[in-house]
Amino acid sequence: MSNLQISIEAPAIDPQIKRLGNYDQRWLVRTKDAMSKTVLLVEAGSKEEAPVWRGHLRRSLSSKVEAVSSVITGRVGSNLDSAYPATMENGRLPGSKMPPPSALERWVELVLGVPEAEAPGVAFVVARSIARKGIKGVFFLKRTYTEGKDRIVGFFQEAAALIMKDMRS
């Protein structure tokens, strides 16, 4: 499974927040909101950038935000139970283990237009080629995060400004 995990850790802020009474809840709400905006941005962009073969990968992408103490974690990834998402994200090195030809049969039929009866043989040849030559990664998660980094920083700057405003009121 291929996932992008984004964590914001602020352990030094814990003692200061505790001294501010209910500001720990305000800090949590503001930073969780910034992380939610972050993962939604990355999820939406990744769905646009992910390879489209039958749309399985795009439909499998989702995001989640968790908060434990001063650690806010956002995850964007696929719920597919296969190596496909990670392979599409990171690629496959030449000389890697051959992918299972059976996993490529339907692709061979739909994309290459090979009749169903011939698909197993052609899928084997494609799998062997992938093992020998590898394939380039698409980097749909990483690229989306990198391209959105300025907006993401802005989400957290806005959260910090709102926290400071909360503290003054």
Tell me if 133 is assigned to some domain. Answer: no
| 9-68 pLDDT tens trace | 666 666 665 555 666 677 888 999 999 999 999 999 999 999 877 678 999 999 999 988
Tell me if 9 is assigned to some domain. Answer: yes
Alpha-carbon span 44 to 29, nearest angstrom: 22
Tell me if 68 is assigned to some domain. Answer: yes
Tell me if 122 is assigned to some domain. Answer: no
Tell me if 25 is assigned to some domain. Answer: yes
Host domain of residue 58: 3-79+138-168
| 48-63 pLDDT tens trace | 999 877 678 999 999 9
CA atoms within 13 A on the CB side of 89: 22
Q: Considering its fold, how many domains does the chain have in total?
A: 1
**DSSP letters of 31-96?**
HHHHHHHHHHHHHHHHHHHS--GGGHHHHHEEEEEEEETTEEEEEEEE--SSSHHHHHHHEE-TTP
Residue identified by tokens 């806005």 is: 158
Tell me if 148 is assigned to some domain. Answer: yes
Which residues face 8 on adjacent strands?
Answer: 72
